[in-house]
């Protein structure tokens, strides 16, 4: 009995300690968030708004991270920042007398669909508008990449570390091809597809790019590079073609060459830049601490965004972020689950306070079934309230398919879109299993009952059935695009074929209505619904609060913090990621509307 009570009270007190720890963590987290808001609310005059480009910029609101609790107590904690936060912060700072200027720092490290060129262009335009307030924009560059310099170049002064290099040598897309590896391990591959440019399947069946894929990729790179270099040349006062000439001659641009070619204004280490800002804008307290008055975007936005969040009963515009691969079913936070998104859109359709819906797409597409579920709900919503579409850095294939419902489609010049086509990819493991002493024996009630089984190759008859399904999906895709864009089907077929286009070309081809970003799409709906050009916004997925995160901790589903990897490990991660994308291929019919596999632009 004594032993029993000892065990009982031991377990009881252990539970109490655990609960106390959780409650303590809740208070710590809430305190950190409150501290962040107070920090901006108490912001003194002559403060600088700091935009750290090394933090991934996403569309959807940030998920709460364990590190933010501890880091928040230390005055930091940002692991991700949203596009709307940055745009809102820049706009607010222009008329905030406490803000002296904006300081750009850090180098962009692309993570999945974050910090793409479409997103960066919106920020770049916001910075240009900010400069109209006569407040300065400064940038510090330390080994800046093309993406980082694309933003930095808009600054009034660009400070570059004398020992660093401008890593801007042009755009490249290098893809990985797997057929030899798959054959070595006994994995068979069969495909069905429609569209000569629908190249997602090529890395699994070819050892290099097809002529069609090389053609479309080269065109896409040329269009994107032209947009980037033109923007840089305009900001730096350089003649047309100057950037192309510089990168062609130098490859990598050292600090002296960057200064000589007027790409930067000063060669100064960060410590001296901080000294200058501290002497000019710092208080005596700042000067002793060796810094200047500053505030991060997230901390700054938190102070005034809270007041602008919708109350129950207020009219809003819903912004739905379709960011990631589209999958069948519920999906997870890293992709677009058809059922989950359809449910959210249905909720917004039935909510009388939601006056319109903006679908923000940053997705290469995915499951035909998942895309269809989302599009159906959007179509229902469009019947009762206006729907507008905003394309981010990529809105292709299934991402374009779900967008055809919109009354107006906005895209950036650098948006990767199109890829109107369908394919099926079927791996089989018969030889792999056989080589390792494993065999299969199937009993079925109909000739094609095991048509989607990965344990044997498809017969010619089975492939014909699967190809017929893909052909049907493609024809429906063409008809939907033709109807929504008011174009002849033959004309759509000519520009479709699975080909990807840059946003600027998409406007010319009438696949997109006009150039613009998320701000323009929200303003458009605000005008359409008489809520004004700056309507109150409701977001999905919504910002994750601390209580939700605690539940995730308890379930053991915490996500890792993004870290910067060296080039070798980055390539290993990329290689692993390409294979892991196969996990998102869960369409019940094995049919997919996805842009080219592994298309990444650096």
pLDDT tens digits, one per residue of 92-139? 999 999 999 999 999 998 778 899 999 999 999 999 999 999 999 999
On whether residue 202 sits in a domain, the answer given is no
pLDDT tens digits, one per residue of 420-441? 999 999 999 999 989 999 898 9
Asked if 368 and 422 count as a contact pair (C-beta separation under 8 A), the reply is yes
432 and 293 in one domain? no
pLDDT tens digits, one per residue of 16-62? 454 444 444 444 444 444 444 445 557 888 899 999 999 999 998 86
Which pLDDT score is estimated for 111?
Answer: 79
φ/ψ region of 82 (left if φ > 0, alpha if ψ in -120 to 50, else beta) reads: beta
61 and 30 in one domain? yes
pLDDT tens digits, one per residue of 460-509? 999 999 999 999 999 999 999 999 999 999 999 999 999 999 999 999 99
Which pLDDT score is estimated for 309?
Answer: 58
Q: How many domains does the chain have?
A: 2
For residue 238, give every residue at least 6 positions away whose Cβ sits within 8 Å of its Cβ, in sequence order, or none: 232, 262
Strands 157-160 and 266-267: parallel
**pTM here?**
0.83
Q: Find where tokens 């819906």 sit.
A: 357
pLDDT tens digits, one per residue of 177-186? 999 999 999 9
How much is the mean pLDDT over the chain? 85
324 and 295 in one domain? no
Specify whether 198 is catalytic. yes
Three-state secondary structure string covering 155-207: CCEEEECCCCEEECCCCCCCCCCCHHHHHHCCCEEEEEEECCCCCCCHHHHCC
Which pLDDT score is estimated for 264?
Answer: 98
Which of 369, 397, 414, 584 is the catalytic position?
397
398 and 260 in one domain? no
Which pLDDT score is estimated for 287?
Answer: 52
27 and 113 in one domain? yes
Task: Reply yes or no on whether the pLDDT at 4 is more than 90.
Answer: no
Task: Reply yes or no on whether the pLDDT at 351 is more than 80.
Answer: yes
509 and 432 in one domain? yes
Specify whether 3 is catalytic. no
502 and 539 in one domain? yes
Q: What is the distance between the alpha carbons of residues 209 and 20, in angstroms, rounded to a whole number?
A: 58
469 and 337 in one domain? yes
On whether residue 502 sits in a domain, the answer given is yes
Which pLDDT score is estimated for 3?
Answer: 53
Which of 512, 528, 548 is a domain's end point? 548
Rg (CA), the chain: 26
On whether residue 414 sits in a domain, the answer given is yes
354 and 272 in one domain? no
Q: What is the distance between the alpha carbons of residues 327 and 332, in angstroms, rounded to a whole number?
A: 9
| Weakest mean pLDDT among 45-59, 321-335, 528-542, 579-593 | 579-593
**Per-residue confidence band for 15, with pLDDT thresholds at 50, 70 and 90:** low
Sheet harboring 294-296: ordered strands across?
Answer: 266-267, 157-160, 137-141, 99-105, 47-52, 294-296
150 and 64 in one domain? yes
β-sheet bridge partners, residue 167: 145
pLDDT tens digits, one per residue of 575-591? 455 555 555 666 666 56
φ/ψ (deg, to 5) at 238? -100, 150
On whether residue 241 sits in a domain, the answer given is no
On whether residue 457 sits in a domain, the answer given is yes
What CATH code is carried by the domain that includes residue 266? 3.90.226.10
Which pLDDT score is estimated for 583?
Answer: 58
On whether residue 410 sits in a domain, the answer given is yes
Percent of the chain with pLDDT over 90: 69
On whether residue 580 sits in a domain, the answer given is no
**Per-residue confidence band for 560, with pLDDT thresholds at 50, 70 and 90:** very low
**Per-residue confidence band for 265, with pLDDT thresholds at 50, 70 and 90:** very high
Q: What is the distance between the alpha carbons of residues 425 and 448, in angstroms, rounded to a whole number?
A: 17
**Per-residue confidence band for 567, with pLDDT thresholds at 50, 70 and 90:** very low
Task: Reply yes or no on whether the pLDDT at 561 is more than 50.
Answer: no
pLDDT tens digits, one per residue of 64-88? 555 455 444 444 444 789 999 999 9
Asked if 538 and 235 count as a contact pair (C-beta separation under 8 A), the reply is no
Closest CA to 319 of 288, 345, 353, 281: 345
Which of 198, 355, 385, 549 is the catalytic position?
198
277 and 319 in one domain? no
Structural domain containing residue 118: 2-169+252-304
β-sheet bridge partners, residue 500: 418
Task: Reply yes or no on whether the pLDDT at 419 is more than 80.
Answer: yes
Q: What is the distance between the alpha carbons of residues 377 and 361, in angstroms, rounded to a whole number?
A: 15
Which of 530, 548, 566 is a domain's end point? 548
Average pLDDT over residues 189-211: 94
| Weakest mean pLDDT among 156-165, 202-211, 312-321, 343-352 | 312-321
**Per-residue confidence band for 546, with pLDDT thresholds at 50, 70 and 90:** low
β-sheet bridge partners, residue 424: 192
505 and 419 in one domain? yes
On whether residue 567 sits in a domain, the answer given is no
């Amino acid at each position: 009995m004594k032993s029993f009570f000892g065990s009982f009270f031991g377990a009881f007190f252990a539970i109490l300690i655990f609960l106390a720890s959780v409650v303590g963590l809740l208070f710590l987290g809430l305190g950190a968030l409150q501290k962040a808001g107070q920090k901006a609310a108490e912001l003194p005059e002559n403060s600088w708004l700091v935009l750290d480009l090394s933090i991934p910029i996403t569309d959807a609101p940030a998920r709460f991270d364990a590190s933010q609790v501890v880091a928040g107590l230390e005055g930091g904690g940002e692991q991700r920042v949203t596009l709307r936060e940055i745009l809102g912060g820049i706009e607010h700072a222009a008329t905030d007398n406490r803000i002296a200027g904006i300081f750009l720092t850090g180098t962009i490290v692309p993570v999945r669909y974050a910090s793409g060129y479409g997103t960066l262009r919106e920020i770049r335009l916001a910075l240009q508008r900010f400069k109209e307030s006569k407040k300065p924009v400064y940038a510090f560059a330390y080994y800046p990449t093309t993406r980082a310099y694309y933003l930095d170049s808009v600054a009034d002064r660009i400070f570059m570390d004398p020992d660093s290099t401008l890593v801007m040598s042009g755009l490249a897309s290098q893809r990985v091809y797997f057929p030899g590896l798959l054959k070595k391990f006994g994995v068979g591959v069969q495909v069905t597809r429609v569209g000569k440019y629908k190249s997602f399947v090529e890395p699994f069946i070819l050892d290099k790019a097809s002529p069609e894929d090389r053609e479309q990729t080269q065109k896409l790179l040329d269009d994107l590079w032209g947009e980037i270099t033109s923007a840089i040349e305009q900001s730096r006062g350089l003649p047309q073609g100057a950037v192309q000439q510089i990168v062609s001659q130098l490859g990598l641009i050292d600090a002296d060459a960057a200064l000589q070619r007027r790409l930067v204004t000063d060669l100064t280490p960060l410590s001296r830049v901080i000294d200058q800002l501290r002497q000019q804008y710092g208080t005596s307290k700042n000067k002793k601490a060796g810094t200047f008055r500053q505030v991060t975007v997230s901390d700054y936005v938190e102070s005034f965004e809270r007041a602008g969040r919708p109350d129950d009963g207020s009219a809003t515009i819903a912004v739905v972020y379709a960011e990631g691969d589209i999958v069948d079913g519920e999906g997870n936070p890293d992709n677009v689950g058809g059922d989950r998104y359809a449910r959210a859109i249905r909720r917004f359709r039935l909510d009388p306070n939601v006056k319109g819906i903006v679908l923000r797409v940053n997705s290469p597409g995915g499951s035909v079934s998942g895309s269809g579920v989302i599009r159906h709900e959007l179509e229902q919503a469009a019947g009762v309230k206006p729907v507008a579409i905003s394309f981010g850095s990529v809105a292709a294939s299934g991402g374009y398919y779900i967008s055809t419902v919109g009354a107006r489609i906005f895209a950036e010049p650098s948006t990767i879109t199109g890829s109107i086509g369908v394919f099926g990819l079927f791996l089989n493991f018969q030889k792999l299993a056989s080589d390792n002493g494993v065999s299969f024996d199937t009993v079925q009630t109909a000739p094609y009952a095991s048509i989607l089984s990965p344990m044997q190759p498809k017969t010619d008859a089975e492939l014909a059935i699967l190809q017929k399904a893909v052909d049907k999906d493609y024809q429906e895709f063409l008809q939907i695009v033709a109807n929504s864009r008011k174009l002849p089907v033959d004309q759509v077929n000519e520009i479709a074929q699975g080909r990807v286009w840059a946003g600027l070309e998409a406007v010319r081809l009438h696949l997109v209505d006009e150039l613009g970003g998320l701000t323009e799409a929200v303003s458009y709906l605000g005008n359409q619904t008489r809520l004004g050009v700056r309507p109150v916004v409701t977001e999905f997925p919504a910002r994750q609060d601390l209580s939700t995160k605690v539940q995730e901790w308890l379930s053991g589903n915490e996500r890792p913090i993004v870290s910067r990897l060296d080039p070798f490990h980055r390539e290993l991660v990329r290689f692993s990621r390409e294979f892991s994308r196969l996990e998102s291929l869960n369409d019940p019919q094995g049919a997919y509307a996805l842009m080219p596999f592994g298309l990444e632009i650096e």
